[in-house]
Amino acid sequence: MAFTLSIYPWVYVGKYDNNWSGDFIEQEHLSPEEESALPADELEALHNRRNSFPDLPLVNYTSQYGLGCFEGVKAFPQKDGGLKVFRPGENAARMARSMEGLGMPGVDTELCEKAILGTAGRNAELGFTVKYDPEWEKDSFLSAGSIYIRPFSWSEPGIGISLSKKPWLVVVNTAVSAYFSGDNFNAVTTDMIRATPKGTGWIKCDANYVIPCLAKNKAVQAGYMEAIFLDAEEHKYIEEGSSCNFFTLMKDGTLVTPELGDTILPGITRKSIITLAQDRGVKVEERKLALEEVLSEGAESFVTGTAAGITPITSLTHEGNKVSFGKGTPGELSMSLLKELKGIQYGVLEDRFNWMVSVES
Ligand SMILES: *Cc1c(COP(=O)(O)O)cnc(C)c1O
């Protein structure tokens, strides 16, 4: 996904101090048209000012020790003209669990959901939004844009080894363009370890991203799209991609994804894909998924996450041996599930599981 750091004007800043409260804040801006006409350096300076929260301390438990959590949520322009967010209540609930997992007060989930819906709605009213383009229907929304909403926590000032007791919640929005830019869907296993038993792998926290950033960079340098992590103890079972959950469709028609536990992040896309697959009669198993089994029995593989929805994996290389899945092109079930998910998200297919929630202003 092509992320941008063009933070939209409306942000939300909340704080815990015995209870949760906060405000929507309209940061400095011009009209979207005036901003896009600015010289590049002036626009960058404006974006940098909007990416600055002077009331928040620089030296704190988040910046020093990685005690921070975040979420990735998307708002999708609808075919009928509205703007809807995919399962924001799930993200708010996970944000609260993540914060509690790091020993800080969990965010009030209602406040968090309102901040998600309210920033996107207010920005859209100012014209900072992505407009629905019927052209997207031609490639089943593979090239469609959306709005990325990023809630994150930030601790109070601190330098001693301690936990955050009075965290902030900040929510910012940016535009994102399509993920599918190329045709490289080749993945490679990494011998780095993302998550260990009894660790923080199940928490969507800053600290979990150190190893994936390093491993993904190495994989990309070597010409791959994604790095695939194996389990810490036996180095035998597939766990996740760098920031996404892993699925393999076996040759016998069973769709398998690693079972949740302390080393797997409970992805909302993962959960949604399981629902969509089961709904069409595909047998889904959540269990340990051996690398050997994927390499010998896998017919299709893909990874899931908010960024791309589904990203096909056409081959997996382990210790120099490359194994292609099926014809070595994105699999039929992978693409069909992707199209169904995108169809629901962009409002061209019925939202039969009530996943989509309108933004608020
Ligand atoms: C966010 C994340 C995912 C995907 O979760 P979604 O809710 O589907 O976006 C998967 N793995 C890791 C490690 C993540 O941080």
- The DSSP annotation for 213-226 comes to HHHHHHHHHTT-SE
pLDDT tens, residue by residue, 231-282: 999 999 999 999 999 999 999 999 999 999 999 999 999 999 999 999 999 9
Q: What is the pTM of this model?
A: 0.96
Residue 166 annotated in active site: no
Q: Which atom of ligand 1 is nearest to the CA of 305?
A: 8
Q: Is 267 in the pocket of ligand 1 (CB under 6 A)?
A: yes
Tell me which DSSP letter residue 124 carries: H
In one letter, which amino acid is 288?
K
Structural domains of the chain in order of their starting residue, each with its CATH number: 10-176 (3.30.470.10), 186-329 (3.20.10.10)
pLDDT for 1 equals 46
Distance CA 178, CA 199 (A): 33
Q: Is 270 in the pocket of ligand 1 (CB under 6 A)?
A: yes
In one letter, which amino acid is 14?
G
Does residue 3 register a pLDDT over 70? Answer: no
Going by alpha carbons, the residue nearest to atom 12 of ligand 1 is 243
More confident residue, 6 or 203: 203
Are 115 and 61 within 8 A, CB to CB? Answer: no
Query: What's the mean pLDDT when you consider all of the chain?
Result: 96
**Kind of pairing between the strands at 186-190 and 20-26:** unpaired
pLDDT for 78 equals 98
Are 262 and 198 within 8 A, CB to CB? Answer: yes
Q: Work out the number of other CB atoms within 10 angstroms of the CB of residue 261.
A: 15
Q: Which atom of ligand 1 is nearest to the CA of 212?
A: 13
pLDDT for 179 equals 65
Backbone angles phi, psi at 140, to 5 degrees: 55, 40
Distance CA 74, CA 81 (A): 16
Q: Which one of 70, 102, 203, 204 would you pick to mutate in the ligand 1 pocket, going by the greatest count of ligand atoms within 8 A of its CB?
A: 204
The token pair that represents 12 in the structure block: 């939300």
Distance CA 338, CA 292 (A): 26
Residue 4 has, within 13 A of its CA and on its CB side, a CA count of 15
Distance CA 33, CA 232 (A): 50
In one letter, which amino acid is 98?
S
pLDDT tens, residue by residue, 139-148: 889 889 999 9
Query: Strands (DSSP E) along the chain, which ranges?
Result: 2-3, 10-16, 20-26, 73-77, 83-86, 146-154, 168-177, 186-190, 226-230, 238-240, 245-250, 255-257, 284-286, 298-305, 309-313, 315-318, 321-324, 356-358
The mean per-residue pLDDT over the stretch 196-217 comes to 97
Q: Which atom of ligand 1 is nearest to the CA of 194?
A: 13
pLDDT tens, residue by residue, 159-179: 999 999 999 999 999 988 776
**Quick one: residue 273, left, alpha or beta (phi over 0 = left, psi -120 to 50 = alpha)?**
alpha
pLDDT for 181 equals 60
